Structure 1
Amino acid sequence: MTRGPFVRRVAVLGAGVMGAQIAAHLANVGVEVWLFDLPADAADPRRTARDAIGRLAKLDPAPLASPARAGLIHPASYAGDLGQLGACDLVIEAIAERIDWKHALYARIAPALAPHAVLASNTSGLGIDRLAEALPAALRARFCGVHFFNPPRYMALVELVPGAATAPEVLDRLETFLTTTLGKSVIRARDTPNFIANRIGVFSILAVMHHTQAFGLPLDLVDALTGPAIGRPKSATYRTADVVGLDTLAHVVRGSAAVLADDPWAAHMVLPAWLDALIARGALGQKSGAGLYRKDGKAILVLDPARGDYVPVSAAVDPGVAALLARPDPAERLAALRASAHPQARFVWAIQRDVFHYAAHWLASIADNARDLDLAMRWGFGWAQGPFETWQAAGWREVAGWIAEDIAAGRALGATPLPAWVATVDGVHRPQGSYAPAGDAWRSRSALAVYARQPYPERVFGEAPPAYGETAYEDAGVRLWHDGDRIGVLSLKSKLHTLGAAVIEGISAALALAETRFDALVIWPTEAPFSVGANLVEFGPLLAAGDLAGFTAAVARFQQTLLALRDSPLPVVAAVQGLALGGGCELLLHCDRVVAALESYIGLPEAGVGLLPAGGGSKELVRRAALAAQGADLYPFVKSAFETIAMAKVGRSAEEARTLGFLRPDDVIVAHPRELLYVAKSEARALAERGYRPPPAQPIRVLGRGGLGTLKLLLLNMAEGGFISAHDHAIAVRVAEVLCGGDLDADSEVTEAWLLDLERRHFVALAATAPTQARIEHMLKTGKPLRN
Structure 2
Amino acid sequence: MSNKLLVRRAAVLGAGVMGAQIAAHLTNAGVDTVLFDLPAKDGDPNGIAAKAIANLAKLSPAPLADKALAERIVPANYETGLELLKGCDLIIEAIAERMDWKQDLYRKIAPFVPAHTVLASNTSGLGINKLAEVLPEELRHRFCGVHFFNPPRYMHLAELIPARTTDAPVLEGLETFLTTTLGKGVVYAKDTPNFIGNRIGVFSMLAAMHHTEQSGLGFDTVDALTGPAIGRPKSATYRTADVVGLDTMAHVIKTMADTLPDDPWHQYFQAPKWLTALIEKGALGQKTGAGFYTKKGKDILVLDLKAQDFRVSAGELDADVAALLKEKDPAKKFAALRASDNAQAKFLWACFRDTFHYTAYHLESIADTARDVDFAIRWGYGWSLGPFETWQAAGWKQVAEWIADDIVKGKAMSNAPLPDWVFDGRDGVHGTAGSYSPARNAMVPRSSNPVYARQRFPDALIGEKFSQGRTVYENDGVRMWADEGDDIAVVSFKTKLHTVNDHVLNGLQEAIAIAERDFRGLVIWQPKEPFSAGADLSGALGLLQAGDLKGFEAMVANFQATSQRIKYAQVPVIAAVRGLALGGGCEFQMHAARTVFGLESYVGLVEAGVGLLPAGGGLKEFAVRASEAAGPGGDVFAQLKTAFESVAMGKVSTSAFEAKSLKVARDTDVVVFNAFELLHVAKQQARALAESGYRPPLPARRIQVAGDVGIATFKMMLVNMLEGRFISPHDYEIATRIATVLCGGEVDRGTLVDEEWLIKLEREHFVALAQMPKTQERIAHMLKTGKPLRN
TM-score calculated relative to the size of structure 1: 0.99
| 1-structure distance, mates of 2:779, 2:767 | 13
Which of the residues 729, 749, 752 maps onto 2:752? 749
Counterpart residue type for residue 647 of structure 1:
M
Question: Equivalent residues in 2 for 1:451-466 (5 A)?
Answer: 451-464=452-465, 466=466
Counterpart residue type for residue 665 of structure 1:
D
Unaligned runs of 5+ residues in structure 2 are none
Which of the residues 682, 685, 690 maps onto 2:684? 682
Counterpart residue type for residue 72 of structure 1:
R
For residues 693-726 of structure 1, give each alpha carbon's deviation from its aligned partner in whole angstroms, at most 9, with x where no partner exists. Answer: 1100122111100110111121111111111111
Counterpart residue type for residue 777 of structure 1:
A
| 1-structure distance, mates of 2:42, 2:624 | 54
Q: Which secondary structure state, in structure 1, belongs to the residue aligned with residue 120 of structure 2?
A: strand
| 1-structure distance, mates of 2:405, 2:756 | 73
| 2-structure distance, mates of 1:40, 1:309 | 43
Aligned residues: 787
Counterpart residue type for residue 509 of structure 1:
E
| 2-structure distance, mates of 1:147, 1:640 | 40
Quote the residue 1:547 is aligned against.
Answer: 548
Question: Equivalent residues in 2 for 1:160-175 (5 A)?
Answer: 160-175=160-175
Quote the residue 1:350 is aligned against.
Answer: 350
Cα offset for 1:670? 0.7
- The answer as to 2:263 corresponding to 1:268 is no
Would the aligned equivalents of 2:90 and 2:119 in 1 still touch at CA under 8 Å? yes
Which of the residues 712, 718, 722 maps onto 2:721? 718
Cα offset for 1:272? 1.2
Cα offset for 1:137? 1.1
Question: Equivalent residues in 2 for 1:723-742 (5 A)?
Answer: 723-742=726-745
Cα offset for 1:189? 0.6
Quote the residue 1:535 is aligned against.
Answer: 536
Question: Equivalent residues in 2 for 1:632-671 (5 A)?
Answer: 632-671=634-673
Q: Which secondary structure state, in structure 1, belongs to the residue aligned with residue 58 of structure 2?
A: coil
Would the aligned equivalents of 1:2 and 1:116 in 2 still touch at CA under 8 Å? no
Q: Which secondary structure state, in structure 1, belongs to the residue aligned with residue 694 of structure 2?
A: coil
Quote the residue 1:53 is aligned against.
Answer: 53
For residues 495-542 of structure 1, give each alpha carbon's deviation from its aligned partner in whole angstroms, at most 9, with x where no partner exists. Answer: 111101111111111111111110111111122111111111111221
| 1-structure distance, mates of 2:43, 2:537 | 60
- The answer as to 2:714 corresponding to 1:706 is no
Quote the residue 2:524 is aligned against.
Answer: 523
Question: Equivalent residues in 2 for 1:135-214 (5 A)?
Answer: 135-214=135-214
| 2-structure distance, mates of 1:527, 1:69 | 29
For residues 89-132 of structure 1, give each alpha carbon's deviation from its aligned partner in whole angstroms, at most 9, with x where no partner exists. Answer: 00000001000000100000010111110110000011100011
| 2-structure distance, mates of 1:774, 1:186 | 48
| 2-structure distance, mates of 1:308, 1:41 | 44
| 2-structure distance, mates of 1:750, 1:288 | 59
Q: RMSD value over aligned CA atoms?
A: 1.1
Q: Which moved more, 1:505-514 or 1:260-269?
A: 505-514
Q: Which secondary structure state, in structure 2, belongs to the residue aligned with residue 455 of structure 1?
A: coil
Question: Equivalent residues in 2 for 1:193-272 (5 A)?
Answer: 193-272=193-272
Counterpart residue type for residue 336 of structure 1:
A
Cα offset for 1:72? 2.1
For residues 725-757 of structure 1, give each alpha carbon's deviation from its aligned partner in whole angstroms, at most 9, with x where no partner exists. Answer: 111111111111111111000011111111111
Cα offset for 1:588? 0.4
Counterpart residue type for residue 560 of structure 1:
A
For residues 229-253 of structure 1, give each alpha carbon's deviation from its aligned partner in whole angstroms, at most 9, with x where no partner exists. Answer: 1010111111111111111111111
For residues 461-501 of structure 1, give each alpha carbon's deviation from its aligned partner in whole angstroms, at most 9, with x where no partner exists. Answer: 1122x222111111111111111211111111111111011
Quote the residue 2:469 is aligned against.
Answer: 469
Would the aligned equivalents of 2:3 and 2:173 in 1 still touch at CA under 8 Å? no
- The answer as to 2:28 corresponding to 1:28 is yes
Quote the residue 2:133 is aligned against.
Answer: 133
| 2-structure distance, mates of 1:209, 1:629 | 63
Quote the residue 1:765 is aligned against.
Answer: 768
Cα offset for 1:628? 2.2
Would the aligned equivalents of 1:622 and 1:641 in 2 still touch at CA under 8 Å? no
Cα offset for 1:4? 8.5
- The answer as to 2:510 corresponding to 1:509 is yes
For residues 368-414 of structure 1, give each alpha carbon's deviation from its aligned partner in whole angstroms, at most 9, with x where no partner exists. Answer: 11111101111000000001101000100000001011111111111
Question: Equivalent residues in 2 for 1:588-627 (5 A)?
Answer: 588-627=589-628
Are the structure 2 counterparts of residues 3 and 766 from structure 1 closer, same or farther at C-alpha, using a change threshold of 3 Å?
closer
Identity over the aligned pairs, expressed in percent?
Answer: 60
Cα offset for 1:306? 2.8
Would the aligned equivalents of 1:704 and 1:741 in 2 still touch at CA under 8 Å? yes
Cα offset for 1:71? 2.4
Cα offset for 1:271? 1.6
Quote the residue 2:451 is aligned against.
Answer: 450
Would the aligned equivalents of 2:337 and 2:346 in 1 still touch at CA under 8 Å? yes
| 2-structure distance, mates of 1:519, 1:2 | 34
Counterpart residue type for residue 505 of structure 2:
I
Cα offset for 1:636? 2.0
Would the aligned equivalents of 1:533 and 1:584 in 2 still touch at CA under 8 Å? yes
Counterpart residue type for residue 487 of structure 1:
I
Cα offset for 1:2? 6.5
Question: Equivalent residues in 2 for 1:75-94 (5 A)?
Answer: 75-94=75-94
TM-score calculated relative to the size of structure 2: 0.98
| 1-structure distance, mates of 2:107, 2:431 | 47
Quote the residue 2:631 is aligned against.
Answer: 630
Q: Which secondary structure state, in structure 2, belongs to the residue aligned with residue 360 of structure 1?
A: helix
- The answer as to 2:554 corresponding to 1:563 is no
Cα offset for 1:774? 1.4
Quote the residue 1:779 is aligned against.
Answer: 782
Q: Which secondary structure state, in structure 2, belongs to the residue aligned with residue 6 of structure 1?
A: coil
Counterpart residue type for residue 35 of structure 1:
L
Cα offset for 1:304? 1.2
Counterpart residue type for residue 606 of structure 1:
E
